[in-house]
Structure 1
Amino acid sequence: MAATTAVLKDGSRISGPAPAVSRPVGKALLPFALIGLAALAGCSTTSTTNDMITVDRAQGSEENISSLSSVIQSNPQDPQGYNNRGTAYGRAGDFRRALDDFSRAIQINPQFYQAYANRALVYRNMGKPVDAANDYNRALQINPNYDVAYIGRGNIYRQAGRLNEAFNDFSRAIELGTTDGRAWHNRGLINQARGDHGKAIDDFAKAISLSPNSAEPYNGRGVSYLAMNDLDNAFADFNHAIELNDKLAESWTNQALVYEARGDRARAYRSFSHAVRLDPQYKPAQDGSARTRGNA
Structure 2
Amino acid sequence: MTYSSERAAYGKFPSVRYAGLLIASISALGLAGCQSTSTTDMTGIDKAQGSTENISSLNDVIRNNPKDPEAYNVRGSAYGRAGKNNDAIKDFNVALQLNPNFYQAYSNRALVYRNMGNSAQAIADYSRAIQINPQYDAAYIGRGNLYRQAGQLDQAMNDFNQAIQLSTTDARAYHNRGLIYQARNQHKQAIEDFSTAISLQPDAAEPYNGRGISYVALGDDDNAFDDFNTAIKLDGTIAEGWANQALIYEHRGDKARAAKSYARAVQLDPKYKPAVDGLARTRKS
The Cα shift of 1:146 comes to 0.6
Q: Taking structure 1 as reference, are residues 226 and 201 closer, same or farther at Cα in structure 2, changes over 3 Å only?
A: same
The answer (yes or no) to whether the contact 1:157–1:165 under 8 Å persists in 2 is: yes
Q: Shift in Å at residue 35 of structure 1?
A: 4.5
Match of 2:265 in 1: 275
| Matched-pair contact (CA < 8 Å) for 2:2–2:104 | no
Aligned mate of 2:229, from 239, 253, 256:
239
* CA distance in 2 between partners of 1:161 and 1:10 (Å): 21
Aligned-pair identity (%) = 59
- How much has 1:66 moved relative to structure 2? 1.8
> Does residue 22 of structure 2 align to residue 30 of structure 1?
yes
The CA deviation at 1:263 is 1.1
2:123 to 121, 124, 133: 133
Q: Partners of 1:140 and 1:86 in 2: how far apart?
A: 20
Counting only pairs closer than 5 Å after superposition, residues 44-123 of structure 1 correspond to structure 2 as 44-56=35-47, 58-123=48-113
- SS of structure 1 residue aligned to 2:101: coil
Please state whether the residue corresponding to 2:33 is helix, strand or coil: strand
Distance 1:291 1:8 in 2: 40
Q: Is the Cα contact below 8 Å between 1:150 and 1:170 reproduced in 2?
A: yes
Alignment of 1:114-193 (within 5 A): 114-193=104-183
After TM superposition, give the deviation of residue 109 of structure 1 in Å: 0.2
Change (3 A) 1:145 1:119: same
CA contact (8 A) 1:266 1:292 kept: yes
**Cα displacement (A) at 1:265:** 1.2
Task: Provide, for residues 176-233 of structure 1, a one-character-per-residue CA deviation record: whole Å limited to 9, x for no partner.
Answer: 0111101100000000000000000000000000110000000000000000000000
Conservation of the 8 A alpha-carbon contact between 1:24 and 1:214:
no
- Aligned to 2:227, what secondary structure does the other structure show? helix
Structure 1 residues 189 and 10, CA gap change in structure 2 (3 angstroms): farther
Task: Provide Cα deviations, 1:50-96, integer angstroms capped at 9, x if missing partner.
Answer: 3434241x434332112111111111111000001001100011111
Structure 2 spans left out of the alignment, 5+ residues = none
| Contact 2:246–2:257 (CA under 8 A) maintained in structure 1 | yes
Higher helix share: 2
Cα distance 1:121–1:3, how it changes in 2: closer, same or farther (>3 A)? Answer: closer
Assess if the C-alpha contact under 8 Å between 1:40 and 1:261 holds in 2.
no
Aligned partner of 2:52: which letter? Answer: E
RMSD: 2.0
What is the TM-score with the length of structure 1 in the denominator? Answer: 0.90
SS in 1 for 2:284: coil
Retained in 1: the 8 A contact 2:232–2:241? yes
Question: Quick check: 1:83–1:105 contact (8 Å CA) kept in 2?
Answer: yes
Who is 2:284 aligned against?
294
User: 2:219 is matched with which residue?
Assistant: 229
Q: Which residue of 1 aligns with 2:202?
A: 212
Partner Cα distance (2:284, 2:28) in 1: 18
- In structure 2, relative to structure 1, the CA distance for the partners of 1:201 and 1:69 (3 Å cut) is same
The letter for the 2-side match of 1:29 is: L
Specify whether residues 7 and 24 from structure 1 end up closer, same or farther in structure 2 by C-alpha distance, changes over 3 A only.
farther
SS in 1 for 2:117: coil
SS in 2 for 1:293: helix
Q: 1:9 to 1:263 in 2, by over 3 A?
A: farther
Answer whether contact 2:6 2:142 (CA < 8 A) is retained.
no
AA paired with 1:27?
A
Partner of 2:185: helix, strand, or coil? coil
Contact (CA 8 Å) 2:129, 2:139: kept in 1 or not? yes
1:294 to partner: Cα distance: 3.5
Q: TM-score, normalised by structure 2?
A: 0.93
Other structure's SS at 1:43 match: coil
Aligned pairs, number: 284
